[in-house]
A = this chain, B = another copy of it.
């Protein structure tokens, strides 16, 4: 299991935008500078977050990005699914798998595990991450 760069950079971009005091939003270029991510690579990160509807901007010059929701209404799972639609366990996802042993104890476990992992990722909001509110643990 691995948390890849897209998801990690996506998190940092979201934190960057959420932390900004500027009412005009944050420029992609500035996120790239703050977070030390190549502008071109950030392109694809921003595109995914935008497609998921987590951030928005206007077009052309001077168009900063803003969150579309309150940061306490955005979870890590929201950000995660901007990049990967699900947590992949092939024997759950794919009907063709598991032809033989679908009284499979292992599969039963993974189904439960996946659900609990989604809950774990849904637990923390962006604002909790930014303000480091540990009293929720």
Q: Which residues of A contact B (CB under 8 A)?
A: 1-3, 5, 8, 11-12, 15, 34-36, 76, 84, 87-91, 99-101, 104-106, 108-110, 113, 116-117, 120-121, 124, 129-130, 132
A89 touches B129 (CB 8 A): no
B106 touches A12 (CB 8 A): yes
Alpha-carbon distance A65/B113, docked complex (angstroms): 27
Contact residues in B for A1 (Cβ distance below 8 Å): 1-3, 84, 87-88, 117
Contact residues in B for A35 (Cβ distance below 8 Å): 100-101
Closest 8 CB pairs of A and B: A2-B88, A11-B106, A3-B89, A36-B100, A12-B106, A109-B129, A1-B87, A1-B1
State the number of copies, please. 2
Extra contacts besides A3-B87, A3-B89 (17): CB < 8 Å = A1-B2, A1-B117, A2-B88, A3-B110, A5-B90, A8-B90, A8-B91, A8-B106, A8-B110, A11-B109, A12-B106, A35-B100, A36-B101, A76-B109, A105-B130, A108-B132, A120-B120
16 contacts across the A-B interface (CB closer than 8 A): A1-B2, A1-B84, A2-B87, A3-B88, A3-B90, A11-B106, A11-B109, A15-B105, A34-B101, A35-B100, A36-B99, A76-B113, A105-B132, A109-B124, A116-B120, A117-B117
